[in-house]
Structure 1
Amino acid sequence: MAENAQSIPAVINRAGGPVDAPDSLIDAKIPSPPAPGGRDLLVEVRAVSVNPVDVKVRASGNRAGKDRVLGWDASGIVLAAGDEATLFRPGDEVYYAGSLERSGSYASQQLVDERIVGAKPATLTHAETAALPLTAITAWEALFDKLRLTADTTGTLLVLGAAGGVGSILIQLAKALTGVKVIATASRAESRAWAEHLGADVVVDHTDPDLARSILKIAPGGVDFAFTSQSKGRIPLFTNVLRPFGQIVAIDDERDLDFYALKDKAISWHWEFMFARPRHGWDLEAQHHLLNRVAELIDAGRIRTTLTQTLAPLNATSLREAHALVETGHATGKIVVAESS
């Protein structure tokens, strides 16, 4: 598209497949978003982070054959607000994880419903902030909406894949807002140190062939709760290490799981999917409130950003590099792409 006053810079995805394919991520100009209406905000995007969902959607087949703007996590500044917006006004700094059904954050401007937007933590940069929203929403909903943990909850929480984006914030929220003991799993020395730094009480190697025994030495009666982003092949582990009436919350897309094996101990399985609220229009403002709460915890020094690497500027080259790093499956914390480093 030719550059004109009604266009904005963006990175578009034209075809699925490998990140180094010619049409995977391309610098382009796209039409400017329309003026926001209703409860929408028009946001100037300053930084984004790359999540596994970005990689998954990019790599999948683009059946519609239309250029699409990916990206969900964002931190930026409100440029304009719809006539029904009540939570934010132009000039406010915000952060959010967006919706799968709308154009994404790999653009200089984006429309987003204010009910899934939070006020940016005052003590963080836009890059530090962009690392947080999608994983913070996921972790919060997993802990407090699914497992229903409270400040009075004790017992043990097993966190598989603790050094990843969600695990990195989930450990912090669990330690800041509940009384549980966190048993984290990680394999590399770097990821184990990261999980310990974020507050895990104990870190065990999830490649240990006798992982169940290692966990049960720490929690002899069995763990009370488990969080997993790595469910494949883990049902035997869960049936072994969860206590009767224990609970598991999962975020991955593994389909072939033997849930019946959990019945003997009456173990509950929960799915967490942070896009469920925006996709189905269900209790949207809950995400606004939880993002504000996370910002308050950040500004109070009780939790910290999970940013580990910043790439700049916000263009196709930087995003390709970020996608390639996330695609390895070995990234610790979060990788952010920002307008400036």
Structure 2
Amino acid sequence: MKEMKTTPQQTEGTETKSKKALGDKMKAIVIHNFGDGNVLQQEEVTIPKIEQDDILVKVQAAGINPIDWKVRQGYREDFLQNNNPGILGWDVAGTVIEVGDLVTRFKPGDKIYANPSAARNGAYAEYIAIRSYEAALVPKSISVTEAAGVPLAAQTAWTGLFDKANLKADQKVLIHGASGGVGTFAVQLAKIAGAYVIGTCSKTNIDMVKSIGADQVIDYKNEDFSTKLKNIDVVLDTIGGDTQVKSLKVLKAGGILVSTVGINAAEKSPRPDVKTIGYYSIGNGAKLAEIGGLIEKGLIKIIIDRTFPLENVREAHQLSETHHAKGKIILTIDQKTNG
């Protein structure tokens, strides 16, 4: 492992002590083949080495997202070929331990959060190597546990609403899965932007979705949104299937449907007068810093359903797979470190 950069606040003794304490091995949850939760195994593996534009982070918390168990099930068949052993988890918050030669924005001891690339091993581990441009400093107003629930979901919501759909003030936006990870951030970001926000969720989550800014909430189990709504400017779809097909009906001419699960509605219910876009989020530290600023101002709340210790990762996956989690699910790895 390369020499750790020092700052004026660090002493040579502190640096040496940190390196000795680090060692070469770390605890991680790995997969060697695809399948159910039983393929998630705790093992001891080598701490990743960093490249010139990387930061090495001591993981304190990791967010659970659907992409995690989809990869585990074989959704990305190339994953195990490129990552051996395969370590899942692409929402992370923790402490910077080491920085690459080209890194100037971070120093050892900084608290960061990030949505690292899924092309590399993830955060179900004690340490992770991250491209520095994917990370941002954790907002001082939240804990590392809360911070781990922000990057992927919040950036996915931002990308869909603003980069893809170009949502404007006074437009009407329909957000499916409004009580989920992406949905809770989408509701809040759309409201900050001045849109009229409509969310769908189950009856038990209606009050929560209203509390974070939704102007109207529809119980998807007992109400058909497609018969209640019309002239919608933007639909953010995190569900797919029939929900996506029905969503085309409520859009106004020139409206836009953006989906995190791909586009399958056009063939079943074509509407040449609307636009459909499938997309996914890419980690962007600058965008994450902007979101952090909104959190610091108290404009965005992080909704956490449950936290699990790393060794209970199978249970965490089971909860995520139900699609009924309220907000985010978090794994806690090391909450004691100060870097």
- Percent identity over the alignment? 30
Match of 1:130 in 2: 148
Q: How do residues 252-331 of structure 1 correspond to structure 2 at under 5 angstroms?
A: 252-253=261-262, 255=264, 257-258=266-267, 261-263=270-272, 266-275=273-282, 287-312=284-309, 314-315=310-311, 318-331=312-325
Q: Give the aligned length.
A: 310
Aligned to 1:283: none
1:231 and 2:246 are equivalent in the alignment: no
CA distance in 2, matches of 1:257, 1:240: 11
AA of the residue aligned to 2:62: V
Partner residue, 1:154: 170
**CA drift at 1:71:** 0.8
1: CA distance between counterparts of 2:262 and 2:248? 20
Partners of 1:43 and 1:112 within 8 A in 2: yes
Query: Is 1:214 aligned with 2:228?
Result: yes
Query: Which residue of the partner structure matches residue 3 of structure 2?
Result: none
Shift of 1:196: 1.2
Question: Cα–Cα, structure 1 residues 257 and 319, in superposed 2: closer, same or farther, change >3 Å?
Answer: farther
State the AA in 2 paired with 1:120.
V
**Structure-2 residue corresponding to 1:15:** 33
SS at match of 1:45: strand
Residue 125 of structure 2: which of 107, 115, 120 is its match?
Answer: 107
Q: Tell me the C-alpha RMSD between the 2 structures.
A: 2.0
The 3-state SS of whatever aligns with 1:233 is: helix
Deviation at 1:86, TM superposition (A): 2.0
SS of aligned partner of 1:261: coil
Give the Cα–Cα distance (whole angstroms) in 1 for the partners of residues 146 and 224 of structure 2: 37
Q: Residues of 2 paired with 1:240 and 1:212: CA distance? A: 7
Distance in 2, matches of 1:92 and 1:236, equals: 45
User: Which of 201, 213, 225 lines up with 1:186 in the alignment?
Assistant: 201
Instruction: Write the distance in 1 (CA, Å) between the matches of 2:263 and 2:32.
Output: 27
Alpha-carbon displacement from aligned partner over 1:144-185 (angstroms, at most 9, x marks no partner): 1111234xx212100111111100111111112x11100101
Q: d(CA) in 2 for partners of 1:92 and 1:40?
A: 14
Aligned equivalents of 1:190 and 1:73: distance in 2?
Answer: 27
Q: 1:223 touches 1:241 (CA, 8 Å); kept in 2? A: yes
Most deviating of 80-89 and 203-212: 203-212
247-256 or 331-340, larger mean C-alpha shift: 247-256
The one of 190, 207, 217 aligned to 1:174: 190
Report 1:31-180 matches (<5 A).
Answer: 31-34=46-49, 36-60=50-74, 64=80, 66-150=84-168, 153-176=169-192, 178-180=193-195
CA-CA distance at 1:93 after TM superposition: 0.6
SS at 2:242's partner residue? coil
TM-score (structure 2 length as normaliser): 0.86
8 Å CA contact 1:159–1:185 kept in 2: the answer is yes
Contact 1:171 1:182 in 2 (8 A): yes
Residues 204 and 214, structure 1, Cα contact 8 Å, conserved in 2: no
- Tell me, yes or no, if the aligned pair for 1:247 and 1:269 is still in contact at 8 Å: yes
Cα distance in 1, alignment partners of residues 325 and 91 from structure 2:
17
Give me the whole-angstrom Cα distance separating, in 2, the residues matched to 1:262 and 1:271: 16
Measured at CA, do residues 143 and 254 of structure 1 come closer, stay the same or move farther in structure 2, by a change above 3 Å?
A: closer
